[in-house]
Structure 1
Amino acid sequence: MVHPQYKYLPKRIILVRHGESQGNLDGSAYTTTPDYKIPLTPQGLRQARAAGEKIRCVVSDYGNSLNWKVYFYVSPYERTRSTLREIGRSFSRKRIIGVREECRVREQDFGNFQVEEGMKVIKETRERFGRFFFRFPEGESAADVFDRVSGFLESLWRDIHMSRLHHDSSSDELNLVIISHGLTSRVFLMKWFKWTVEQFEYLYNPCNCEFQVMQLGSGGEYSLAIYHSEEELQQWGLSPEMIADQKWRANANRGDWNERCPWYLDAFFDHLADSDDSADGETGD
């Protein structure tokens, strides 16, 4: 059970990747259609409807919760808006507090119209350069996406703390659903959980219409390990240390710092003395 002092926090923040798009099916679509206008395929529409049913089961605790509500954020791209419309079929109007188009959770910009063969070479170069810092010609790097997602998170926290997303914060269980893109979701998690650039490089996109549930733990921290299995976290590229941290967060007190995870200290220093007395070059009086 979540402590009463955290009742104003959303119970879940759910990241949803859009359904299968024409671009996922055929990369040549980007040569004639602007990225933001790429539509879902019939399969993508079916995936979105199925995802809506699954998300409703999750936010209602499989029918055991009565006072749940959802608030949607959606990327302005055609494929994410279509995904939202299909997901919305699973919810009644009284369950939806609101929806907001949010440009900062849009897809990574790859430039304008894409030349298919040229993009293949560019993506091969990205693998050699590093996926986080490589900037597409006339487009963005993942680092650029990180910056705008960081701005979105600041706005999100203001909305949460000012109770802008609640109708009745004393009784409603709020669930935020963010319908976005693969890389944007990875960057969102990276920012939220303070993952390093090196850790980001090993992450994988969720599948089309796969969703990732950050659930509020008993101590006020969010964790992927409350809803998801260790196998799922491994499939997304989380290391054993990252998975251990997610498990710790499930019951940790909000604001605590998990010093047991190696990247907090060990990833940045070759060796740290256990105490001041044992530090090299220091002597007592």
Structure 2
Amino acid sequence: MASSAPSELVLVRHGESVGNLAASAASARGAPRLDLAYRDPDTPLSDNGVSQARSLGHYLSALPEQERPQTVVSSPYVRATSTMDHALAACPGEVPTRRDERLRERDLGLFDGMTGRGITQEYPEEAKRRAAMGKFYYRPPGGESWTDVVLRVRHFLADTSRDHRDARVWVFSHQAVIMAFRYVLESLSEEELLAADADTPLGNCSLTTYRPGNAGVLALVAYGEVGHVESSGAEPTHEEPHTPHDPAGPDSRRG
């Protein structure tokens, strides 16, 4: 049966950002908020994040032409577009690129820039509501639930299958968005998704790859590969593992 999907879909998490560093520092101090002056869309890569992105460029430059991306789509957030730009700078030839707001990070609303401790201290009733609803369905005040992100991803995949059938498509995005792709493409349950998110932290600048399998449906080939980062001398990074039922959780982190 002919495929109605891209011939390859590679999901790239952005390189380490200064927001990731700020979140780790705040957690280590037990602080209620991140010490960060940037709004979420403008948060840049750290120096190590730039090195991670360049390591991906070296990986791309070594690929045979028939394995390189044919079209690239990025979240419009700076940490994602910068990762894309650094990576493609080393890729031979011209690759069409565009930005798509459906790939942006989950909007945390009132909780943006807060730690789990801060949320519990300042908004105890919301922490209780989140614990009751569960991480997947809970929507922070003024923000998005994971299911809201899933809806964005479903629309993006429908357009991509229509417009880029049989093409090699690379997507530069964020942790929660990539997990939403997994939920949709692998038909995961809520429990399976949260367990995967807790058990296997998604590394910065990691690659998650899908190719058509049975009946031309995209199937997972590799999840969270960071070999290109490890071999380059850049420091591999990811958030600390967490439990899927933590009542506060790391939802304020900019992934």
The two structures share one fold, judged by TM-score above 0.5: yes
User: In the alignment, which residue of structure 2 is the partner of 1:189?
Assistant: 182
User: In the alignment, which residue of structure 2 is the partner of 1:39?
Assistant: 44
> Structure 1: which 5+ runs fail to align?
162-172, 238-285
Q: Do 2:60 and 2:68's aligned partners in 1 also have CA atoms closer than 8 Å?
A: no
User: In the alignment, which residue of structure 1 is the partner of 2:148?
Assistant: 144
Q: Which amino acid aligns with 1:80?
A: A
Q: How does 1:6-21 map to 2 (within 5 A)?
A: 6=3, 9-21=5-17
RMSD over equivalenced CA pairs, Å: 3.0
Q: Which amino acid aligns with 1:146?
A: V
Count of residues in correspondence between the two structures: 208
Query: Structure 1 residues 68 and 40, CA, compared in 2 at 3 Å: closer, same or farther?
Result: closer
Distance 2:10 2:113 in 1: 31
Secondary structure, aligned partner of 2:216:
coil
User: In the alignment, which residue of structure 2 is the partner of 1:277?
Assistant: none
Q: 2:169 aligns with which of 155, 159, 176?
A: 176
TM-score normalised according to structure 2 size: 0.70
Query: Structure 1 residues 120 and 24, CA, compared in 2 at 3 Å: closer, same or farther?
Result: farther
Secondary structure, aligned partner of 1:201:
helix
Q: Do 2:146 and 2:176's aligned partners in 1 also have CA atoms closer than 8 Å?
A: yes
Distance 2:154 2:19 in 1: 27
- Whose relative contact order is higher, 1 or 2, with alpha carbons under 8 Å and at least 6 apart? 2
Q: How does 1:118-157 map to 2 (within 5 A)?
A: 118-119=118-119, 126=130, 129-157=133-161
User: In the alignment, which residue of structure 2 is the partner of 1:114?
Assistant: 113
Residues 1:71 and 2:76 are matched in the alignment: no
> Structure 2: which 5+ runs fail to align?
24-32, 228-240, 242-255
TM-score normalised according to structure 1 size: 0.64
Q: Displacement, 1:75? A: 0.3
Task: Kindly name which structure, 1 or 2, has the bigger radius of gyration based on alpha carbons.
Answer: 1
Q: Do 1:130 and 1:201's aligned partners in 2 also have CA atoms closer than 8 Å?
A: no
Distance 2:15 2:154 in 1: 25
Distance 1:90 1:78 in 2: 19
Q: Which moved more, 1:204-213 or 1:13-22?
A: 204-213
State the Cα deviation string for residues 80-117 of structure 1 (Å, max 9, x = none).
Answer: 011111111221234x1x11101001100011653455
Query: Structure 1 residues 119 and 38, CA, compared in 2 at 3 Å: closer, same or farther?
Result: farther
User: In the alignment, which residue of structure 1 is the partner of 2:28?
Assistant: none
Residues 1:210 and 2:206 are matched in the alignment: yes
Residues 1:26 and 2:22 are matched in the alignment: yes
Distance 2:210 2:139 in 1: 29
State the Cα deviation string for residues 34-75 of structure 1 (Å, max 9, x = none).
Answer: 111111000000001112323454xx3xx3x54754211100
State the Cα deviation string for residues 236-272 of structure 1 (Å, max 9, x = none).
Answer: x9xxxxxxxxxxxxxxxxxxxxxxxxxxxxxxxxxxx
Q: Displacement, 1:152? A: 1.3
Q: Do 1:31 and 1:115's aligned partners in 2 also have CA atoms closer than 8 Å?
A: no
